[in-house]
Structure 1
Amino acid sequence: MSLPHSAENESTALTAAESASSTEEESHNNALTEKSCENCHQVVTGDFCSNCGQSLDSTLKYFWVVILHLLDDIFSFDSRASRTLFPLIFRPGFLTNEYFSGRRVHYVPPIRLYLFISIVFFLTLKLTVSSEEKHTMELKNNKAAIAQVTEHIEKLDEKRLAVLTQKESTELTRINADLLRFNDYLKDLSLDISIADNNKLVKATRQLVTLELERVKIEAGDKSDAITIGNNQDGSLSFDFLSAESNKKLNDFGNELGEKAEKTFSTDTNRLVTEVLGKLPQLMFVLLPLFALLLKLVFIFSKRLYMEHLTVALHSHSFIFVSLLSIDLIDVTHDYFEEIGSDIALYTASALGGIGFIWLLWIPIYLFVMQKRVYKQGYIMALLTYSFVGTIYFILMALTTVVAIVWGLTSI
């Protein structure tokens, strides 16, 4: 049955109206979704500008948002980190070979992995070492101060006997006063420093003793125990290739550094430890490309690019930091259970000590196996190159530590 002509026209009009309305709505929605690029001001319909390639996602965000995104990317169980940590620790060379083969999407990139692990490692190390070293250094400094005071008292007793034979009343009065004062120092230093109030008194006494002994040394003209940084017989620091003015500045810097070192080592070495741990992350970041350059020179016939050697350096250092961090946490837990003293606690502490020792042995074994697998060497050649690279790296680390100590002393 056909519709009347008027009804057919009405239906057509309604369809056209609906189509126009739908087109308008679609245009409106497109206008809302379209954005302009902040760089070239072109209209962008997706997440990236088709003209210049810039992302529409702004990098200027709240800091806590960035941290949450980073933590989610690294620690989410459905992220690449869950597939990265296990082979990093237990499968030497696997991550590096996967990266070289182009299978990278499933794993955390080497540079991001290193940066995050190094930050966590050095922060944790700074907290644990500082808390442990503070008590250890206090004990060592206290023992050293007691030994110094005892030695000085013995010298004063000898002087007193000599003055008694000479019947010098003025000198005898001064020596007796010194003996009384240093015996009081010795009594204060012998207090139990585990008690908070006594700890303050012992620390103040130790500082006072240091000043007193320095005064005695100055009056006696004794500089035998002074720390000097020099390469000449008179203790001065100079080099032939430098001008006289440059040598003078260098010598002044060496004397200043020696004074700071002497003061630090005789009073509060914990501050120096904290400063050194604060400098090491930056220095290690400089050491990484140098280590990669060393690998490039040693394995020059492997035809690998420098960036490949840098990847080896990043993965190996990430493994070392994770291992040392784990060993440090195991050591802290071991000490905690030892302090409890019960049979179960002592058994747990013993087990943790064994795990820590095995993990420590695993580090050089892991690095050797990693080198062998990545550079595809035989056992003899791998052992030779591993020994050579290890020796050079040990020297580089020693120099890095020296630079960190000197840098730390200049910051005190």
Structure 2
Amino acid sequence: MSHGKIREDKTCLNCGHQVEERFCPHCGQENTERRQPFYFLFTHFIEDFTHYDGQFWGTVKNLLFKPGKLTNTYLEGKRQTFVPPVKLYIFVSFITFFLFALFPPFNINYGDKGKDEHNGASANPPKKQVVQNIIKGIEAEKTNSKDSAKITKLNKAQVYIQDSLKADSFEEGLISTMDTNNKIADDSGVLGYKTQEEYDRGTANKKNIFSFINDPFAHKFFKLKEEGVKKGDILRNLVQTSFHNLPKALFIYLPVFAFFLWIFHKKKKWWYFDHGIFTLHYFSFLLVSILILGILLKLTNVLADYAFFNPIIVFAMIIILVYALIYFFIAHRRVYKSHGMVSIIIGGIIFFLNLIAFTFLVTGLAVVSFLMLH
């Protein structure tokens, strides 16, 4: 672990006490020179966040491959062995969303691509057109050929290409949905009402518990419709806004997750603080898993021309998803020392309740993101 140059003067710059070695015994400040080389800023940043002397990498290794160990170690009072849970979560969250902002794992700009192809701005024709031209060539070749073996091969090739074209139907549907040339249709509406006036008249005497959501949603929808906002712009902005708000939503959800743990465990033995530590470690693991999945998803795009790698990457992603699912149950049993089926039942109930609560959170996030569109 690199440090700045030590001062010859043994008087602490922070509190004025005598410093016998490297750190002040009174305030803990390192007795280094006030001015350091410029690169010291970057090395100090890395050291401060990752404890590059091995603490960080030991933390990550145990977080990924030893479910529950970080929580047990911390609750035993061994606070210097690994990176503290709050610091770990903040760092992992920062790295995950920062990298996703720089390198999005998926492309949401299909509308622009479709527009360029429609206007002839792209030098390459749409994939569907290319495939259809190939099929026409195969049919012409079959008509002119009298070799039955060759015709059989051509038939197999045609079936394969047609299946490939069908596989792209989802992407084409997404492109159509996100096409920036498509405005909100005139007959589009909310709850059967096509204009703001119709909605206000029709719902004036029909207020219910969902009105506090329906009313602002409808007002925003009709406002965007009047302004001629395009569907693709709405969807792209909605995804981007939701993505920017997701770290805040996850941070808000942490105490909710800990609350469900608190409900199902003995209050005298387990404090809410203990559940909070477990939650921070579990969510840190989830964020690391999401980061790894995002990287693998990005690799499928980069290595799209190498058919050999894609099945391997997809298999790795499936393994990670399955592991992320069972990770909670393993960590829960090791931390709370539950036995056998009891641990699985309690863990399953907690997992199911959190799934429902998180679904409501994501739905609320989508609604808020839509209302924030401009």
TM over 0.5: yes
TM-fit CA distance, 1:235:
4.7
Listed as ranges, the gaps of 5+ residues in structure 2 are 1-6, 127-174
The percentage of aligned residue pairs carrying the same residue is 20
Query: Which amino acid in the other structure matches residue 34 of structure 1?
Result: T
- Residue in structure 2 matched with residue 234 of structure 1 by the alignment: 202
Query: Which amino acid in the other structure matches residue 234 of structure 1?
Result: G
Bigger radius of gyration, 1 or 2? 1
Q: Residue by residue, what CA displacement relative to the aligned partner does 1:197-233 show, whole Å, maximum 9, x if unpaired?
A: 999xx99x9656527x53xx59xx99947599xx999
Q: Residue by residue, what CA displacement relative to the aligned partner does 1:58-77 show, whole Å, maximum 9, x if unpaired?
A: 9x999996664242244465
Q: Is the 8 A contact 2:105 2:298 kept in 1?
A: no
TM-fit CA distance, 1:272:
1.2
- Residue in structure 2 matched with residue 210 of structure 1 by the alignment: 183
- Residue in structure 1 matched with residue 293 of structure 2 by the alignment: 327
Rounded to whole Å, the distance in 2 between the matches of 1:193 and 1:123 is 35
Q: Does 1:410 align with 2:371?
A: yes
Rounded to whole Å, the distance in 2 between the matches of 1:306 and 1:223 is 43
- Residue in structure 2 matched with residue 258 of structure 1 by the alignment: 221
Q: 2:18 aligns with which of 42, 45, 64?
A: 45
Rounded to whole Å, the distance in 2 between the matches of 1:61 and 1:334 is 47
- Residue in structure 1 matched with residue 242 of structure 2 by the alignment: 276
Count of matched residue positions in the alignment of Structure 1 and Structure 2:
308
1:295-374 matches, within 5 Å, as 295-301=261-267, 303-337=269-303, 339-340=304-305, 345-374=306-335
Rounded to whole Å, the distance in 1 between the matches of 2:205 and 2:254 is 31
Q: CA RMSD in A?
A: 4.5
Q: Is the 8 A contact 2:182 2:231 kept in 1?
A: no
TM-fit CA distance, 1:100:
1.6
TM-fit CA distance, 1:116:
0.8
Q: 1:84 aligns with which of 34, 37, 59?
A: 59
Q: Does 1:292 align with 2:253?
A: no
Q: 2:336 aligns with which of 368, 375, 378?
A: 375
Q: Secondary structure at the match of 1:92?
A: coil
Q: Secondary structure at the match of 1:133?
A: coil
Q: Is the 8 A contact 1:295 1:309 kept in 2?
A: yes
Rounded to whole Å, the distance in 2 between the matches of 1:194 and 1:273 is 26
TM-fit CA distance, 1:327:
1.5
Rounded to whole Å, the distance in 2 between the matches of 1:254 and 1:222 is 9
Q: Residue by residue, what CA displacement relative to the aligned partner does 1:31-80 show, whole Å, maximum 9, x if unpaired?
A: x643575xxxx743346595xx595889x999996664242244465230
Q: Is the 8 A contact 1:34 1:43 kept in 2?
A: yes
Q: Is the 8 A contact 1:73 1:81 kept in 2?
A: no
Q: 1:267 aligns with which of 220, 232, 246?
A: 232
Q: Residue by residue, what CA displacement relative to the aligned partner does 1:211-264 show, whole Å, maximum 9, x if unpaired?
A: 7x53xx59xx99947599xx999356976799xxxx8x9876343333367677
What is the TM-score of this pair, normalised by structure 2?
0.67
Greater share of helix:
1
Q: Secondary structure at the match of 2:118?
A: coil
1:44-123 matches, within 5 Å, as 44-46=17-19, 68-75=43-50, 78-123=53-98
TM-fit CA distance, 1:266:
1.8
TM-fit CA distance, 1:87:
1.3
Distance 1:355 1:206, change over 3 A: closer
